[in-house]
Structure 1
């Protein structure tokens, strides 16, 4: 049993390490441009102080992944991968009210790029294993600690590279936990639902290109490529996608209905979205496929009609509905516009049951007896996708108890990203109890 002084050390270290990590910029600019070297070296040093030997796997110059294995007492049990990523998206300091890399504490929160995505979780992991070192605790099963590079730009130099080139480091592991799960969403009656990620949408980023007849801007031209791509983009942007409800989504909305006392209509879940506040923006996108135009490229001079024009579409598909996404896009734009895949990744969905799920739920309920653990489908993706290709079943479980009025989803990649210190304290204790009982 953890003593009050140990809890205090555990919680204070989670805060201090989170600040340290934020103060080491590990910005991922995409297209291979990133640098996790300094933050990876910090992680290695932090683990070394706890007597844990970690290795850096460099996939490209300064693109660094950190791996360590804690041997469990029961060799008959399979291992679990506890992973995070150590890169962050860029931050324009002029837009922020604080220095995005100062890790300032203000209003009971740690402010800075990576505070919720996801150096807070990296800090919790490090704080927990450092406490184990102090107390002499050894987990029953092997725990592989993985701190990946490049999660923010397709995982090419991170988890994808590790699973392709060094699958041996995950040998014997069958399960995994990572980011964006176990956070609280307050609904009517001050009831707290804890969203545990059990599914993820797939990704298909595509470049559409229309070809036409180049010419002078003052002349008639019925083969204007820019007109063609604009019409296609407008149709995609305005398309009403059909509702498609996966097993995870159905369970979530049944729980929302039960908690709020609102009617549950299995054929139309949208009326319940308003019950979850700002989280509606993300969860609403998990009721259907989506395709959002994000970039346009055409022309080089005001009086020249371009011979080609292109657009980028961010397509996201539900588990089991990739073909519907692709076929619908083709039918919308017609046969004359070409489609080039920029990036594509799988969708995931796992069952919300079994010993691991029970351990997650029990850990939450120990620290919030009135909490209601629920599964959810994530509109984005995590490194669990790469691990799934090794047969490792992954969940999003990085617990945080959040203020009812905090727009948590807006903080991801947002201006003034911040994490409540009280939520971090809650999370590190829940995660510790989970890891000691999973």
Structure 2
């Protein structure tokens, strides 16, 4: 294929080596500031400098390092594009893995380790593409601002939030951004290959619930037991059935999937429609409504003492336009005896699926995966695009990977034995290069 000539063999080798190298740099983010991304940031900056760029290293907190660089385009009147990836990863217990999670081992055509899909693979693709451009003398049409961030796996306060708030000038001209996670192969089990491109994210609403009551002896009746009050609220939240609410992105996803499967796109009966889409329903099902999942409980200090206070944490997510409903529902479900507050909150995002940029992402995937079917989708979780949206940057999820049948990509995010095929990385470099040169 003619377009593949834009990517040389060195780029194919580098994307694999860079993924492996970055995995070997342990950037585990345990939350609460317990992480150090600087070694990975220095690694990325050195390779950007090797491509003739002038990377800037920035820290809000010592060791929590971000990297920003700009690739100048050929059209100074064009809006700039932000291309970003995070350097931190979630924890991994070595005893649970088939290989050491920070080995970066390459075995049987697969790169293993924490970050292989979330998201040091994309970091490596970005580095490989811009270095390939430097060797071949390629320049994109629009400026490309590259950002490697810290702290995405926690609050982003030391990463994209810090960059957006303290260094907005570095992103001057950026109107759109691209990062995780979309354009990967979803096999539906019946021979179809679907490539979902993210054009939206649910909002983040991590909640702290506090129940207060009357402390006392555990042997005596207590109608003001804080633990009981909290348990009732948590049970109501966990059992609540949230109503269906369709955003424009999800409507587009359901419409395109219905056409692909040859069924009526009955958007008045979403659950019925999902039942006709087979396994592809999983691409949409988490984003047709708000959600709230209790995840942590803290109460008491001795078995025969009723505590005066009990605390729980809830992972809540709300759709674009759905925050007011979310708040009102939590007020009702918690009741008068339990207070709730945001432990961490970030906005929901919505991106147009009829934009030129989305069309060019679609075209790049279809060129290298002509047998695939590209559809839009909304991410159930969140990314650094939330923080960059403060700068007016519209975010898309586009980390292209061609994956083999049976490769459970979604399960590997934060999962055991995280890994990525070498061929998937090669595909990603080619598609990313194609998109960025035409964006």
TMscore range, shorter length: over 0.9
Q: What is the aligned partner in structure 1 of residue 182 from structure 2? A: 181
Gaps of 5+ in 1: none
Judge conservation of contact 1:278–1:409 (CA < 8 Å) in 2.
no
Note the C-alpha offset of 1:191.
Answer: 2.0
- For 2:271 and 2:108, the matched residues in 1 are separated by 35
The DSSP-based 3-state class of the residue aligned with 2:253 is: helix
Q: What is the aligned partner in structure 2 of residue 172 from structure 1? A: 173
Q: What is the aligned partner in structure 1 of residue 36 from structure 2? A: 35
Q: Which has the larger displacement, 262-271 or 251-260?
A: 262-271
Judge conservation of contact 2:230–2:310 (CA < 8 Å) in 1.
yes
Q: What is the aligned partner in structure 2 of residue 9 from structure 1? A: 10
Gaps of 5+ in 2: none
Q: Which has the larger displacement, 120-129 or 177-186?
A: 177-186
Q: What is the aligned partner in structure 2 of residue 407 from structure 1? A: 408
Determine whether 1:94 maps to 2:100.
Answer: no
Note the C-alpha offset of 1:256.
Answer: 1.5
Q: What is the aligned partner in structure 2 of residue 355 from structure 1? A: 356
Q: What is the aligned partner in structure 1 of residue 53 from structure 2? A: 52
The DSSP-based 3-state class of the residue aligned with 2:438 is: coil
- For 1:281 and 1:190, the matched residues in 2 are separated by 16
Superposed, 1:163-312 pairs within 5 Å as 163-187=164-188, 189-273=190-274, 280=281, 283-312=284-313
Judge conservation of contact 2:71–2:144 (CA < 8 Å) in 1.
yes
Note the C-alpha offset of 1:4.
Answer: 5.3
Q: What is the aligned partner in structure 2 of residue 388 from structure 1? A: 389
Task: Check 1:321–1:141 CA distance in 2 against 1; reply closer, same or farther (3 A cut).
Answer: same
Deviations 1:123-158 (A, max 9, x none): 000000011111111112111110011111021100
Note the C-alpha offset of 1:187.
Answer: 2.6
Task: Check 1:316–1:279 CA distance in 2 against 1; reply closer, same or farther (3 A cut).
Answer: farther
Note the C-alpha offset of 1:106.
Answer: 2.7
* RMSD across aligned positions (CA): 1.7
- For 1:237 and 1:10, the matched residues in 2 are separated by 48
Count of residues in correspondence between the two structures: 438
- For 1:262 and 1:406, the matched residues in 2 are separated by 27
Q: What is the aligned partner in structure 1 of residue 417 from structure 2? A: 416
- For 2:265 and 2:188, the matched residues in 1 are separated by 15
Q: What is the aligned partner in structure 1 of residue 86 from structure 2? A: 85
Q: What is the aligned partner in structure 1 of residue 120 from structure 2? A: 119
Deviations 1:81-120 (A, max 9, x none): 1111111111111111110011112343211000000000
TM normalised by structure 1 equals: 0.96
